[in-house]
Amino acid sequence: MSLQSEFSPEPPQASPSNNPWRKFRRNHQAILGAVVLVIILLSVILGPLIYTTPINKIDFAQSTLPPSWEHPFGTNDLGQDILARLLYGGRISIAVGLFSMVVAIFLGTLIGAVSGFYGGFLDAALMRLTDLCLALPRLPLLLLIIFLFRDAIKAIAGAEFGIFVLVVLVIGGLNWMSVARLVRAGFLTVREMEFVTAARALGASPWRLIWVHILPNVMSSVLVAGTLSVSTAIITESTLSFFGLGFPPDVPTWGRMLYDGQNFLEFAPYMVIFPGMAIFLTVLSINFIGDGLRDALDPRLS
């Protein structure tokens, strides 16, 4: 055995305490949130296939019945089964949250990457645009946009799909600013590191520097921001539906169910309790997961 091989240093071993998955598993709140979220997702995906009660069957003789074996969550003022509508509506509410998150992540990552990489006048202009969007009152603006364009989008794409597309684009288009700031801050740090300087010296194009060398190193913060934006989108869609500006009345989203049950709160509180609990548990579990991911992906926390 040569002296060089005998005294050559061993490759550094990753510390188990720095493993993101190990750190995530040690966070009991994050694990609880993941379990609850998986249960909710399985319920809304598989539940309507198992619990086949029609969601739009009207029977005034069964109006506002309390929970029972026949109707586990009771019925609404039209005699429709609340559990069936809750399971079906969960698909729409969660889909709105996920697709809105994709829109927000795309816009925020694109604007933050361009701003942080190029700097100068372009950085100043994009950040002033971000500040302007942050200063806008989101809820009134959201209500105004939905009110102005919902009839036009219904005529083009249909009542349900058209409103879905409009809600997703508007919610995602009003939630990209925090993602853009995170991505810009990450780019300003990573672009000055040695491996980026070496790649630039070897002739790497700006496109390759952004998408291959820099962006993967800031994706952890983007992932956390995206996770938390899902819960924001679900609450925003529920708010729109509660104000009667979301999906049509025959589409049972969780927010629409709250809107329909508000007038029966005194003698049929279950019409509001069950969709409210669905929103609460979903948002809380996503926030727990987001907090767990933030702690697990932070190298400063061991």
Span 41-85, pLDDT tens digits: 999 999 988 998 888 888 888 888 899 898 899 999 888 999 999
Closest CA to 97 of 41, 158, 140: 41
Domain ranges in the chain? 90-296
Tell me the per-residue pLDDT of 87-133, one tens digit each, with 9 for 90 and over: 999 999 899 999 999 999 999 999 999 998 888 888 899 999 999 98
Residue that is written with structure tokens 């198992």 in the block: 50
Q: What is the band of 30 on the pLDDT scale with cuts at 50, 70, 90?
A: confident
* 107 Cα distance to chain centroid: 14
Q: Check pLDDT > 80 for residue 19.
A: no
Q: Which residues contact 71 (CB under 8 A, 6 or more apart)?
A: 62, 65, 81, 82, 83
Q: Check pLDDT > 50 for residue 6.
A: no
What's the whole-model pTM score? 0.82
Q: Does the structural domain 90-296 have CATH classification 1.10.3720.10?
A: yes
Q: How many CB atoms lie within 10 A of CB 265?
A: 13
At residue 301, the pLDDT reads: 53
Polymer length in residues for the chain: 302
